[in-house]
Structure 1
Amino acid sequence: MDTEHVVISATPVLIDAIGRQRESEDIRVFVDRQGVSKLAAALHYTLRIIDGGFTQRTGTNKLGVHPVEGLTVFTALQDVVEEAVAHDPYLNQID
């Protein structure tokens, strides 16, 4: 998927995160305000946070959103990632 800033790979965890808009108001509101490409970036930063490479504050700064909005979406996406580990082979390939 091409965006104005980067090419995004549609991995199972990203597709799951996009689909979670129906279940998660936090993800739905984030996508409504920021768009799918920003959700993909938030997912990338969430993975860095889980790996210990970033703090949530660093991820929020890099994402360029209000701190509360960033922390909220990171928390929602952590749930998505925890469930996706079992079925997304790309999660093990991320540097």
Structure 2
Amino acid sequence: MTPHPVTETPPHDLETGINHLATVGRLLDHPELARVYVYTCYYGPVTRPEIKAALDIPKTTVYDHVETLEALGIVSLAGDRPVEVTADPVRITTDGIVVTPTILHAVALQEVDEDVSYFVERHGVGKLAAAVRQAGLHYAGQITQRMAADPLGIPSGEAISIVLALKPVLAVGHEYDPYFDVIFPEISDDIGFESDHDAAVPRQNTES
């Protein structure tokens, strides 16, 4: 049997890829940092005072997070007084795992939505990412909220709560995430919402 040739990844590409994975991992582990990133990614360029006002977080926290994001290489600063902050959309797709700003927005919601925070506390960030997919199927008209429970392995009540909580994630992601169709390759065009949503604003209602 002829062995398959081994294709080596160039050292520079390997370094870049690993650094990118580490950056995404940092955002997945820090919801408040992810929230600043997602807001900047979707609505930038924005100033740090605009981030502070929109997300209602302390000025020092905004400056610290923007500095961290700049060090991670996913935001850039330009201009002077006021400095404008711009974020690059991230995308990780490997072995069936997909992370884009939409997934990071779901992670960020832990900071402002008790249902999302409770869900992650019980089931973890990986299950939350899977819930984003199920919520997309629901809002594309393919499944009911209760039908999301079995694939996620959670009670139907929790499935209903998380699907509702993720509605703004899908609404804003559909409009602003350039990689939205990577998460929903066959149904992205079927996901749509009549009402406006804002990545900075917590969920205000429980409509389905």
Given the two structures, how large is their TM-score scaled by the length of structure 1?
0.86
Superposed counterparts of 1:3-22, under 5 Å: 7-22=96-111
Q: Is 1:26–1:72's contact at 8 Å kept on the other side of the alignment?
A: yes
C-alpha contact (below 8 Å) 2:113/2:165 kept by paired residues = yes
Report the counterpart of residue 160 of structure 2 in structure 1: 71
Q: Hey, what's the Cα distance between the residues in 1 that align with 2:122 and 2:141?
A: 27
How many Å separate the matches in 1 of 2:134 and 2:175? Answer: 20
Structure 2, unpaired ranges of 5+:
1-20, 22-94, 187-208
Does structure 2 conserve the Cα–Cα contact (< 8 Å) formed by 1:8 and 1:40?
no
- Bigger drift between 30-39 and 75-84 goes to 75-84
Structure 2 distance, partners of 1:44, 1:8, is 11
1:28-76 alpha-carbon deviations (Å, 9 max, x no partner)? 0000000011001100000011111111121112111011111101000
Residue equivalent to 1:84:
173
Percent pairwise identity: 33
AA in 1 matched with 2:99: A
C-alpha displacement of 1:90: 2.3
**1:28 is aligned with what amino acid?**
S
What is the match of residue 146 of structure 2? Answer: 57
Aligned equivalent of 1:30: 119
**Larger Rg belongs to:** 2
The alignment covers a number of residue pairs equal to 91
Alignment correspondent of 1:47: 136
Q: Which amino acid aligns with 2:161?
A: T
- How many Å separate the matches in 1 of 2:160 and 2:169? 15
- 1:92 shift after superposition: 3.3
| 3-state secondary structure, aligned to 2:98 | coil
Distance in 2 between residues matched to 1:48 and 1:16, nearest whole Å: 18
Unaligned runs of 5+ in 1: none
What are the superposed Cα offsets for residues 7-32 of structure 1, whole Å, 9 maximum, x if unpaired?
42111100010011001111000000
TM-score under structure 2 normalisation?
0.41
User: 1:87 Cα deviation (Å)?
Assistant: 1.1
